Every structure is written in structure tokens, then in C-alpha cells.
Amino acid sequence: MEKYILRFNEIDKSFLPYVGGKGANLGELTKADFPVPQGFCVTTAAYQAVIRTSKEMNKLFDLLEGVSHNDLDQINILGTRIREHIDSLLMPEDIKLNILEAWRVTGEEKAYAVRSSATAEDLPTVSFAGQQDTYLNVLGQEQLLKAVQNCWASLFTDRAISYRAKNGFKHRLVLLSVVVQQMVFPEVAGIMFTSDPITGHRKTITIDASFGLGEALVSGLVSADLYQVRSGQIIKKQISSKQVAIYSVPAGGTVTTDLPLDQQTRQALQDDLILELASMGQAIEAHYGAEQDIEWCWVEGKFYIVQSRPITSLYPVPRTSDHKLHLFLSFGHMQMMTEAMKPMGLSVLRTLVPVGKSSLQAESELMQEAGGRLFFDITNLLEYPVLRKRLPSLLGNVDELFGRAVQEFCERTEFKTAAQNGKRLSLAAVKRVSPTVLAVLRNILYRHNERALADLNRFIANSVQESSNRLQTVSGPARINLIQEMLPTLLSTALARVAPYIGAGIGTYRLIESYSKKWLGDAAELGNISKSPPGNVTTEMGLVLGDLADAVREHPAVIEYLQHATDATFWEDLRAVPGGEAVLPIFSGFFARYGMRGTGEIDVTRPRWRETPNQLLPTILNHLKGLKPGQHRLDFLKGQKEAELAAAKLLHRLRQTPWGQLKAKIMQRLIKVHRSVIGIREHPKYLIVQTLDLIKLALLQEAYQLVVTGILTVPEEIFWLSLPEIKELLVNQQLDRTIIARRKENFLHYAKLTPPRAITSEGEIITAKPGAQVPPGALAGSPVSAGTVEGRARVILRLEDADMEKGDILVAPYTDPAWTPLFSMAAGLITEVGGMMTHGSVIAREYGIPAVVGIEKATELIKDGTYIRVNGTEGYVELLDQILE
């Protein structure tokens, strides 16, 4: 016979399928001797028995599974229907008798809190908090049985249905237990987080407290006092005006009461009790081994814990090997790819980094994974005073908010204390960087850089061919060894070869801006100086894609086909379409040259264009819709002309000033160097992406062999393993499949998280505001491409969903090289991440479109179709009233 009742002292965390998350936690706390009011759980077996009495529920479940989480009207209709149906069901007599017997043993004269406890609730990765109903001060058997039945029905509140649908939980698989717990009538109650839920600081305990029942606080009726405790000391007290409180009433239920004026601003919990409660919170966290969200009460001189659940909103902390305070910066923000990555992608990038390694083949310890993303530990760099001074401004070129976050961290007392005895750069370190610095200066001052592009292109072609040949000469574990050796050499070689030119390109841009302002009082021509420079491989890719679109333009049947093409049969179906044979060589040529690219291309587990051609088709169709034949080439030539005119105008203005001929000569040299080398900025990534693609193909070849031997079910399963694990698998030919299942589950959770730019080893997320001074209501960011433009915002989260017209303003989380073809249609650019020298910023300047980057949550704050103004000179975006469809 199924057990319908379990008392708290019979329950621990293993009972979650029978008593739900809330019930399991209360049982766990009770068994661990924490002060929990007595009670019992009506198990999920009782809920299932009730549902089995219905002839309609299977049909209703089927209807629910077809409803989208954002179809609120349909959810309301179905939810109301199901709740009314469950309320109408007769509770089986044996369940009723079991509930009443447990109630009498616990104390029939007592008042009870009756709470819903779902099996998909209070879990480590998702809370479901507040999705089902709670009933307070329940008195007598009639109220109790009614409250239990109402809790069963509340599994189908509108908010619960939507939440489950959004988080991928099957409605019929989520079961409900009901927690029946003796009420305590607190003088003070509230919530305690054993880590700061706002900043993520793991050593800061945050307590909210208010008079009466905690429901006033949870429901938002009152602003609670806020206390924070760190290392046994109260570090913050924020006393709020608590105008109301919720109290129980003798007949059952609760009442909201206005507090007397003298009580409203009184500190709800005294200092000694704050510290006592914080200590209890630490003990509960230690018991669970994870940060906790705890509901507590203060009753007649004693604390009671009425609930504890994991804090699901905290971003995971990167690993450290010591107890020092570390600062980590998001690698994804640096590389314009902030999505979660699978283990193989993470492993390849950690191996690529040539520093912080115990051996050439090892993964870098300076790059740590957290939440499926990589974070770079810059703590050691900050221990050098000279780097501490320069690093914020250098990082500002990558992302202004990086620089500001690092500056804020360095100014903190705890960091200054730790870094008191700063390190000095060794002579060897200075010698290592000196050749690059000198090469940058030579490139700026006197070198002829005209051959640099041709030399680099030849170097990249030869390097890629050599890597391809080497990877095909070995197989098995030896091939993994080769990959582990190639990766760090690849990055160091690429940077050493290109850094003198990139440094010269950035340096000359800054010098042109600085000298213009110093000698003329403005930098009016700067916005056009960088337009359409030669040699940028991603710009060239965009032009070639435009040529492809123009070729397609002549064949209506091909255009129609591209609107519904599928990846699996793309090439065969294209050949069969009228005009397909004519454009096939052009398509093949483009994919032969650029097929290794794709969105998020630094992650080798992400699909490339050659694997999923559909990624590119919206861009081609947008080009056909928004541009005239050949316009992309004409626009590029127009940019070159505008750059020449801007340079001529700048030089003319300088000649009119004192010592004008000398100033003009200096500026002429800077402009010449800048335009000859700034296009090289994309070359290192171009080399790396081509090599990563070869490595991906080699790893998939190994995976195919593992499929043949039955170890893997599909080749892509190799993506869930790191390089050392793949090597071990090839040696031992054995795989623990539970590892893959667990990593897939983690990945789904990580994909929902928003990674921080900067996070400390204590879990604190350091946020900084952009430096731009903005008009009221405007969104502040970093100005990266000068000019002002108004137009329709086109919010695009994924390149394959792009739908743009000429003159739209592109609003995106980030842009990497795969997004370049959209720039030919965009009138302006807004991204959530980026800095002066990141991809989108450089390309925006080349195309001469105003751009503002680093606006957090831009894709949420700016609605698609909104008419907006982008000020790329000052660094802000204004949302205008008109909405355009």
C-alpha cells in the first residue's frame, strides 16, 4: 500500500519524489536538529491517487503539453478549467483519514500553514518558488482538508503552468505533495540568504526582516529592514519604514494591519540576534554544502526555520587553488561570444592559451570554467604596480566596462592590502615584450607597410596547409597529442606575427584623435578616416557574400528555394532548382573559402557555415531585399573616397595652423600607416578559426571510429569530453555514459545563465557603469564609431534569424565576424558587449556607421521596431516615441 503521510522526522533529501522540494528540505532540516516547527507531508502518492479518480485529466494534460509558455490566454483558460476540475474531485476516504490522523497526532488544536511542495521545486538549478499556493493559520479539519485540495489544484495556477513550460518540465511528470506545518506566530520574520543574492558575494549573509508573518515581505507589501553580515561583523544596516504587518486571526486566516508610527521605523531585529541568525545560516549552508535561501521566524525568544532552499540565481565561481582574493574577466565578452560552451570547446580554448600551464599540452590554469564559460584570472597581473596602472585603459579597448571594473577592484581596501608589496617586472619579461614594442614604433615611424597584408596572407595560407598535413599524418591518441601541442603554438605564433601591425593600427588611431584635438580642438574627420581600409578579411568576406547574393538575384527559383532550404539536403536540392546549376559554383566557391566560419566560431563545437548553410541564408535574402545590384561594392568604394576626402580635409586644416606643414606631415604619416595596417586586426582570428576547423574535423574523424566500435552513439557525443578525456577514451576504449548525461543536463542549466563581465573568487559580480554622460532616459554605453543616426531598431539575437532592411539599426548581444554581412544594410550598431577595438566597433568604423557598445541588456531594453537615435560620438542611445513595424 502506498504511504500517503510522512512526518518530517521520517524525511530526508532522498524523499524528494514523495514529498517535493519543500517537504524534502524541511525533513532534512528536522533530521539535522535545526529548529523547525513540527509537521508532516501529504505525499505525492495521495495526489496521484486523487488524479486517478478523474476521467478527464489525461486529456487535459495532453492539451497542456501543446501550450507555449507565453500563450497566456490559453494558459488562463486551461488552468482555470483544471483547477475547478480538481476542486470538484472527491478526496478518497483513506487519504482523508490518513491526513486527519496525522493532524491529530501533531496537535488538532494548533493552527497550521499548508503549503504546496512540487517535485520540481526548490531544486539546485531551478526554484519554482511561489508558483503554487500557500494557506496560513488553517484551523480545524474542514479548513485543513480544503487547503490540501486547493494546494493540489494550485499545481495548475497560470504562473506554474507557464513556468514549467518555459523550463522544459512535462506537466504530467511534475507531482505535488502538501506540507502541513504547525504555525508559529512570530514577532519578527523574514528571509536570509547565505550569500548576497544581488552581487553574488559568497561571504556576505543578507537578512531581510519585518514585523509579523513573513508573508508581508514575500508578497511585497512591506519594505523590510536589510542587514548584511560578513566575517561575524554587521557591515550594513538599512532600516526601512515598515508600514504594515500580517498577523493571524483567531478564526483562521490572516489580516493585514497598519503598524503604529513608533514601530514603523524601529529596527526589527537587534544586533545580537542578527549575528545569531547569521551563524545559524552558516550552519545550514554547511549542512547542505550550498548557498541557501532561508525563511525564518523569531518567536518568544527563539529562532525557527520554516524553509531552506538552494539559491538558484547565483553564478558559479571560477576555481582557485589558494585562498587569495582573485579577479576573473569573462573570456566570452572579450571574444564576443557569451553563450555556454560544451566541454570540448572549453578544453580546446584552455589548451590554446600558452600561459599558466604546467606543460605545453596542459590546459591553462589562468583560464577557468564557470557556468559553461571561461574566465581569465588577471590577479597575478594586478600584483605589478605598472600593469595595475595601465591595464584598465588597455582593457577599455576591448570593453569599457572591463576597464572600469578592474579599476574599481584595484581601489578596494582588501585588494590594496593584499597587493601592498607589489611585484616588479623582471628584466626577462621586459626583454620578451621589447621587440614587439620596438616593432610597433618602427611601423608607425618609418617602415613601409604596404607588403604587410600580402606577407600575412601568404603566411596564413602556408600555416593552414601545414596544419592540415600534420593532422592527417597521425591518428588515435597521437593525433590528440599533436592537437594539444599545436594549439598553444598557434596562438603565440599568430600574435607574435601580427601584434606589431595591430599595435600600430590602434596606436595611430589614438594618435590621430589626440593630435587632432590638440592642434585643431576637435577630431571631426576621425569618423571617416577608418572607412573601407584594404585587407580586412571579414570585410572582404562580406563583399564576396554580396557578390553571391547578386548572382542569386538573377534566378527567382533559387531565391524562392533559399526561403525554405534545409541543411541536410541543401546542395542536392539547390542543384535541382532552375538556375541552381548556374549559381552552384559561386556557392561552392564561397563555402570553400569561408565555410569554416560561423556564429560563435571560437567554440569548436558550434556548427560552421558548411555544416549548416541555413545560418547564412537570411543574410543573403536580406541583401536581396535591402540592396541594389552591386551596391555593396559601390558603398565600399564610396567609403574609400570619403576616407581620402577626410584625410585631405584634415591635412588642409592643419596646414592653416602654426607649424602647419610639420603637423600635416606627421598626420599624413599616421593616416597612411593606420589605413595600411588596421585591416590586419582580423587576421589572427582568421588563422585561428581556420586551424580550429581543421582540429574539429580531426576530432570528428576520431569520433566516427568510436561510433563504429559502438563506444559513441553519434560522433557529436565527443563534444561532451575534454581533450585529455578524449585521449584517455581512445586509449582505454571505455566510456562512462553517465558523465555525458550529467554534462548535458548542466549545459541546459548553464545556457540560461547570464555570465558576468567580472567576478571575484568570492563570487561577487563587479558591475561598472559606462562613463558617458547621457540625457535623461537615454541608455549609456561606449562610443566606438562617431556620428548620430535615427532609425528603426532591429533586435537580432541570432544571425540565422536576421531580418533587416537598408537603414535599420542593428541591436545585438554581440557581433563576431559572421555578422559582418549585415553591416552593409545597417545604419547604426548597438551591442551589449564590446569596446573600441572589438570586431563590431572596427567594422562599424570601416562602414562609417554610428555605433554604441557595452549597453547591458540592450536587446531587452530596446524593443524590436522602436524608433531610436544612436549617438556614436557621445556614447548613448535615445528611445524615441514612435514604434515602426
Q: Report the C-alpha gap between 839 and 845 in whole angstroms.
A: 10
SS3 314: coil
Q: Report the C-alpha gap between 279 and 639 in whole angstroms.
A: 65
Measure the CA dihedral 704/710/713/718, to 10°: -50
Closest CA to 584 of 601, 567, 571, 598: 571
Within 41-92, where are the H helices? 44-52, 57-65, 72-88
The three cell numbers of residue 843 are 567594422
Run of H or E residues at 217: helix 215-218
Measure the CA dihedral 328/332/336/338, to 10°: -120
Run of H or E residues at 296: strand 292-299
Q: Report the C-alpha gap between 36 and 304 in whole angstroms.
A: 6
The three cell numbers of residue 291 are 548557498
Neighbours of 543 (CB within 10 A): 17
Measure the CA dihedral 248/251/252/255, to 10°: -40
Closest CA to 131 of 171, 101, 103: 171
Closest CA to 828 of 880, 788, 772, 770: 788
Within 656-775, where are the H helices? 660-677, 683-708, 723-732, 737-751
Following DSSP, what letter does each residue of 834-867 receive, concatenated?
Answer: --TTSHHHHHHHHHT--EEE--TTHHHHS-TTEE
Contacts 24+ apart (CB under 8 A), 58-62: 60/85, 61/171, 61/172
Q: Report the C-alpha gap between 283 and 217 in whole angstroms.
A: 24
Alpha-carbon distances of 392 from 335, 366, 398, 420, 772, rounded to whole Å = 17, 19, 10, 19, 16
Q: Report the C-alpha gap between 621 and 654 in whole angstroms.
A: 45
Closest CA to 649 of 493, 523, 803, 826: 523
> 224 with 208: CB under 8 angstroms?
yes
Catalytic annotation, pick one of 171, 333, 674, 839: 839
DSSP collapsed to 3 states, 134-200: EEEEECHHHHHHHHHHHHHHHHHCHHHHHHHHHCCCCHHHCCEEEEEEECCCCCEEEEEECCCCCCC
Q: Report the C-alpha gap between 751 and 371 in whole angstroms.
A: 8
> 751 with 603: CB under 8 angstroms?
no
> 159 with 79: CB under 8 angstroms?
no
Q: Are strands 876-883 and 779-780 parallel, antiparallel or unpaired?
A: antiparallel
623 is catalytic: no
SS3 343: helix
Closest CA to 13 of 289, 202, 314, 278: 289
Contacts 24+ apart (CB under 8 A), 215-218: 215/134, 215/136, 215/246, 215/254, 216/244, 216/245, 216/246, 216/256, 217/189, 217/190, 217/191, 218/130, 218/191
Compute the Cα dihedral for 32, 35, 38, 41 and give only its sign: negative
> 194 with 284: CB under 8 angstroms?
yes
> 123 with 20: CB under 8 angstroms?
no
Q: Radius of gyration over alpha carbons of the chain, in Å? A: 32
Instruction: Give the active site residues.
Output: 839
